[in-house]
Chains A and B, each alone.
Chain A
Amino acid sequence: MTTTMTLAQAQQDLVDEFAMFTDWQDRYEHLIELGKDLPLIAPENKVDTNLVRGCQSRVWLNAEMKNDLVHFTADSDAMITKGIVALLVRVYNDRAPQEILGASTDFIDRIGLREHLSPNRANGLSAMLDQMKRYALAYSSKS
């Protein structure tokens, strides 16, 4: 689904989706649902070397190159964190490294989860984003 959209469109899509919720509970329930729908990470990729540093819960993030696009898989032991990483995967998955590196991250503010998703150490959102960009950078210098 996301592959037919540009990265910016995928971001806007999420912003529109979250705009439907007026209540914190609905927003979080949706976020938790997104986490539940996140495709399973392969067991061999759920390893310590794929842990994202700087999160209070454990987050695994794996990246590989498929057809010149960065393919992300992820998991977390906390449901909200898993929802957050699912949001990021939905936006950044299967994109060219350059597109990932050039993308703005302001959709996080616009998603209406801003005060909760503001980059802080506890939820590690910025750590996850940084990690995705580091992978993209590594692949862009290889290609």
Chain B
Amino acid sequence: MKTKAAPVAKSTFNVEEIRAQFPILKELVHGKPLVYFDNGATSQKPRRVIKAESTYYATINANVHRGVHTLSTKATEAQEAAREAIRKHINAKHAHEAIFTSGTTAGINLAATSLGQLLLKPGDVVVISGMEHHSNIVPWQLACERHGAVLKVIPITESGEWDGQLADELICQLANCKILAISHVSNTLGTINPVKKLIALAKKKGITTVVDGAQAIAHLDVDVQDLGCDLYAFSGHKAYGPTGTGVLYGREELLSRMPPWQGGGEMIDTVTLEKSTWAKLPFKFEAGTPHIAGIIGLGEAISWMEDYDKSAMAAHEHVLLEHATKELLAIDGLRIIGTAKEKVGVISFVIDGVHHYDLGTLLDQQGIAVRTGHHCTQPLMDRFGVSGTTRASFACFNTIAEVDAMVAGVKKAVKMLR
């Protein structure tokens, strides 16, 4: 990934210094120190983010873009500063290309509804991959149903990657493929997908590209211009920000052509009872009062991440992944689902004769939080012939000692269950 010019020196990455900024890491669970390995579901929040939200409520709470009064101006400025921080972080051309949403799910629903209306006709094709989260499947199924279009799926290999050749063929051979919607990083497998390459191919064919970046934003240097995608959705809460926040990035030219998704206050220019005209970007897509406090918190989370060298964070998470992979594989009957070469710190596994629910419960007893089940990727579970997995997903505040605690916890649980 391209590195961006850093105007200020980055803080050096020191995991203990990082940990000290996350109040929740001092919590005990069942009397044991919390080991939080469910960052794929939602990451924990540094104190700065928590404080930014409460300071907003305590000092400048007011509705945005409405009042002439001082607080409203301040709240608006703070919200728009967050938008600019996000623009910079993902290297969008314009701040108004970043639409605030309640999360990835909302972003993809907006994309699928609006793009469906703009682009899809009976017989058209939407391509997704076989590793998508339900959030990047169901909205497209609904759009296809509404417009008589067809959903096609890129098959997944045994290692948990796209079948590159079949992906290329799908894109090149389908005359009426209109939309390609793919995840940047798989939440279940950890696979970092070669999205840039496929997007370039799709572009040549005039296909509109949508990327689900939910699992990428906290771990990779996301540069939307470099990726060349048309739309890119992510959630704030998976990137050290508050829940209920998210962003849908869209290229200005495309966003201007897309019809609005939800109607209401803030998104209009003029309203008569016969017809309304739309506000300019990004407000056309931001009906109603946004999650102002959350957005300000998200801006803080982004600038918190910007304070560090993202590659140092990624390198730390990679060390955790490698260590966990090696240690877990030494457990008898354990199999890792998702063995791609390029992975973020996500490790999904199954153990012969051990149900993931039992394992998750017994790990929880030891203060270790992992995710168990199908991870909202049921088609992918079917692909691998499992009903679910146990998943550990790392963040920058996790440590080798925590990985060791999990491995010991798994061994203890397996002993109890066999």
Contacts and interface: CB of A to CB of B under 8 A. Distances in A.
A22 to B, nearest CB: 12
B362 interface: yes
Interface string A7-46: 0000000000000000011001100100000000000000
Contacts of B273: none
Contacts of A77: 355, 387
Contacts of B365: 24-25, 28, 116
Give the interface size bracket for A toward B: 10 to 19
A3 interface: no
B416 A56 contact: no
Interface in A96-128: 115-116, 122-123
A57 interface: yes
B30 A57 contact: no
B416 A28 contact: yes
Max chain B Cβ within 10 angstroms of own Cβ: one of A58, A80, A115, A123: A80
Contacts of A80: 357-358, 361-362
Q: What is the predominant secondary structure among interface residues of chain B facing chain A?
A: helix
B338 interface: no
Contacts, number: 45
B236 interface: no
A25 B415 CA distance: 11
Max chain A Cβ within 10 angstroms of own Cβ: one of B30, B355, B364, B416: B355
A79 interface: yes
Nearest to B412: A25
B358 A56 contact: no
A31 to B, nearest CB: 10
Interface of B: 30, 355-358, 360-362, 364-365, 372-373, 387-388, 412, 416-417
Given A80-B357, A116-B361, 4 more contacts: A28-B361, A79-B358, A116-B365, A122-B360
22 contacts: A24-B30, A24-B365, A25-B412, A28-B362, A28-B365, A28-B416, A29-B416, A56-B356, A56-B357, A56-B372, A57-B357, A78-B355, A78-B357, A79-B417, A80-B357, A80-B358, A80-B362, A116-B364, A116-B365, A122-B357, A122-B360, A123-B357
